Amino acid sequence: MEFTLVGFSQNSNIRRFAFKGVAADRTRRMFVVGADLTLISKHSIPLQELPLLCRQLLEGRGDDLSDARLVFAAENMIEYVTRRLEARRKADEKRKPYRRPGGSAVVGQAWR
């Protein structure tokens, strides 16, 4: 099923994202994913990433989409933050250590 963001609404600290799901047989169905903005800021998740994370939540459900209303819960947020930290750690390991330019510790004496 393909999901397209249609819009969002907000009621106090809960932001609800509306998605249109199109199945392989071209049937359409609406889905709503809610997220608590207080938890988003607690886990340092950028607000711009929230629609994509909600869509990934829908895609991760696979064929188990009997409920049209879902919640991007604290467990999902912790899982996302853990994956993001692991990716950052791996990127830091691949980064080459800083090397001071020049080969000599005593600059200017290499030619003598």
* Domain count along the chain: 1
What tokens were used for 83?
Answer: 């994956």
- The Cβ-side half-sphere exposure at 43, using a 13 Å CA radius, reads 23
Kindly state the DSSP code that residue 47 receives in the 8-state scheme: G
44-95 residue pLDDT tens = 899 999 999 999 988 887 766 667 788 888 898 999 999 999 999 988 888 8
Instruction: With respect to residue 105, please indicate whether it lies within any of the assigned structural domains.
Output: no
User: What residues make up the domain containing 89?
Assistant: 2-94
Q: Residue 107 has what pLDDT?
A: 59
Instruction: With respect to residue 24, please indicate whether it lies within any of the assigned structural domains.
Output: yes
- The Cβ-side half-sphere exposure at 51, using a 13 Å CA radius, reads 12
- In sequence order, which residues have a C-beta less than 8 Å from that of residue 44 and are 6 or more positions away? 81
Q: What is the largest CA-CA distance in the chain?
A: 81
